[in-house]
Amino acid sequence: MSPLNTYPNIDRPDDFYAELLALHEGRSKAESELINSRLILLLANHIGNRQVLSAAMRAALDPGAKEVADTKA
């Protein structure tokens, strides 16, 4: 069983999404990619749990990968 929470967990999701986009406003493609990479590393460190990180990586690679999708939070 994957421990990755794939159920809504972000307070005021529209505000979060707008903040995420604002991060990239006026940036070049290379800058944006670097910002995203740094963001992933920061969030990964915050999560810490290797099982969760592996499950998230599998889900990102193949959305709907069964082992992740079948899990209830």
Partner 1 sequence: MNKIFETPIYEYARSSDQDAVAPVRHSVVVVGAGPVGLAAAIDLAQQDIPVVVLDDNDKVSFGSRAICFAKRPLEILDRLGCAQPMVDKGVVWDTGKVFRDTRQIYGFELLPESEHHRPAFINLQQYYFEEFLVRRIRELQAAGKPVDLRGGNHLAAVGQHDTYVSLEIDTPEGPYNLEAEWLIACDGAKSATRTMLGLDFEGRVFEDNFLIADTIMEADFPTERWFWFDPPFNRGQSALLHKQPDNVWRIDFQLGWNIDREEELKPENVRRRLRAMLGEETKFELEWTSIYTFQCCRMEKFRYGRVLFAGDAAHQVSPFGARGANSGLQDTDNLVWKLKLVLDGKAPDALLDSYSDERVLGADENLLNSTRSTDFITPKSEASRNFRDAVLDLAEAYDFARPLVNTGRLSLPCIYDGSSLNGPDCAGLPPNLRPGAPAVDAPLADGWLLERLGNRFQLLAIGAPAPSDLEDGGITVETLKVDAAANQTLARRYLGDEKAAIYLLRPDQHVVARWREFDRDAVIAALKTATARV
Residues that bind partner 1 (CB under 8 A): 5-10, 13-14, 17-18, 20-21, 24-25, 27, 29, 32, 59, 63-65, 68-69
- What is the nearest approach in angstroms of partner 1 to the Cβ of residue 21? 5
For 32, other C-beta atoms within 10 Å of its C-beta total: 14
Do residues 16 and 10 lie in contact, with contact meaning Cβ atoms separated by under 8 Å? Answer: yes
The alpha-helical segments, DSSP class H, found in the chain are 13-22, 29-47, 50-61, 66-69
Closer by beta carbon to partner 1, 8 or else 48:
8
Closer by beta carbon to partner 1, 36 or else 51:
36
